[in-house]
Amino acid sequence: MDFEVWPEAIELGQIFEQHGYELSLVGGPVRDLLLHRRSHDLDFCSSARPEEFEPILRSWGEGFWDMGRKFGTLGAVRHRDDGTEVRVEVTTYRSDRYDPDSRKPEVAYGHDLLGDLSRRDFTINAMALRVPSLEFVDPFSGASDLVKQVLRTPIDPERSFDDDPLRMMRAVRFVAQLGFSITPDTAVAISDMAQRLSIVSAERVRDELVKMLLSERPREGIEAFVESGLADVVFPEIPALQLEMDEHHRHKDVFEHTMMVLDRAIALETDDEGPVPAPDLTLRLAALMHDIGKPATRRFEPGGKVSFHHHDVVGAKLTRKRLKALRFDRHLVQDVSELVGLHLRFHGYVDEPWTDAAVRRYVKDSGHLYGRLNRLTRADATTQNHRKARMFAQAMDEMEERVVELKKREDFDALRPDLDGSQIMQILNLKPGPEIGQAYKHMLAFRLDNGPTDEQTATVELRRWWNERNG
């Protein structure tokens, strides 16, 4: 085959060859070459042991790392003349053995390239390019599977997934990233062995979920995740959204609705410079989880109606619990659960436009999530009634315009009472204590309801509240 290969790969291959070692490009970089994609991260495998090729990488690169030393992996980085950089990782041939109750391999070095390729996750990642000779090595027909756009394991899928259960998560992640389908025998093996995923650490499952959600086709990945049974093991709230339709079909299938909201939310992301940069993990997680409180709150009402009262509150609690279990960053956990809890907040505006005070509270309560909350709210309006959809969009446009106008007159980002804590203590002749906090909270509510006022008006209100409270 005719390859346009990175010059750095050729150069490293020549250096390894001069030292008597084999070196091959493997995995993603080879797959991307065939897909006519370019990568700045190059993965190699070699016959050399880490202690043998460490001096080569240290001499070749401008930076060096060895976090993967215990797995036989070392890395280096070099900057090109055009300002870009190329990162390389070299791993000694491997033939790992796995403990049946752990996905941590007992690292064992292999003896040749073919043995190393046989232990990789899918055939499309089990191709290699020897350097500097540029001999293409494809013992498991990965190039053919790449053309067919299918995911298949190099060896028996049951054995492959038993060795490393995380490969099942990578399968659904590649569905999202590449748009490929999983071959029937591989899909059956995933369904049969889904429970084995429970031995994988939450952090590794989380990392695969993040890659899937930030891909170009997260909906396809989530659908494969649910269909395979993997979601039942690590994210059961998502398949639980597949509620049976009521006999009169008066409520939407919640899972299908959620997929629509995810697609719509992604379409509302902005560029990297906008308030909701694309791809945005916070918004995408909120879209995926905004209705997970519905199964627990579903009630069949008289006349065949179905209700989901307080599913926003329940959903926020479930969101916090699940994201914590998956070891997400606490700030992201807080933001996503906050969005889920607020996602119904705007709906009352459509029927009766808010006062300025209500608009201020909406902006204050959403805080730095204001832009994401509005996008989630818009995405959640999936009604097929064109008149209702138009009214909803117009109401949201109107509210956002009002916020812009209010912000011209008021500093929403520094919204505080017209009296600070020291003034409150002086006016009420109080010492520091919980009463000051209560007074401050009341004056903040007064500020939100009435907008900015002068000190005299604020003082009158503070005394009125205090006298009524203690009357």
pLDDT digits (tens, 9 = 90+) for 219-276: 999 999 999 999 999 999 999 999 755 444 444 589 999 999 999 999 999 866 667 8
Centre a 10 Å sphere on the Cβ of residue 462 and count the other Cβ atoms it contains: 22
pLDDT band at 367 (very low <50, low <70, confident <90, very high): confident
Q: What is the pLDDT of residue 250?
A: 47
**Which residues, at least 6 apart from 462, have a Cβ–Cβ distance to it below 8 Å?**
419, 424, 427, 428, 439, 442, 443
Average pLDDT on 22-38 reads 91
Residues 78-96, mean pLDDT to the nearest whole number: 89
Q: What domains sit in the chain, N to C, each tagged with a CATH number?
A: 1-145 (3.30.460.10), 239-414 (1.10.3210), 421-469 (no CATH)
> In whole angstroms, what is the distance from residue 256 CA to residue 61 CA?
49
C-alpha torsion sign, points 168, 170, 172, 175: negative
pTM, rounded to two decimals: 0.84
Distance CA 86, CA 8 (A): 8
Band the pLDDT of 342: cuts 50, 70, 90: very high
Report the mean per-residue pLDDT for the chain.
Answer: 89
Q: What pLDDT does residue 154 have?
A: 96
- The residue with tokens 């959204």 is 241
Q: pLDDT tens, 162-203?
A: 988 999 999 999 999 999 999 999 999 999 999 999 999 999
pLDDT given at position 414: 59
**Confidence band (pLDDT; 50, 70, 90) for 40?**
confident
> Is the backbone peptide bond immediately before 29 cis, with ω within 30 degrees of 0?
no
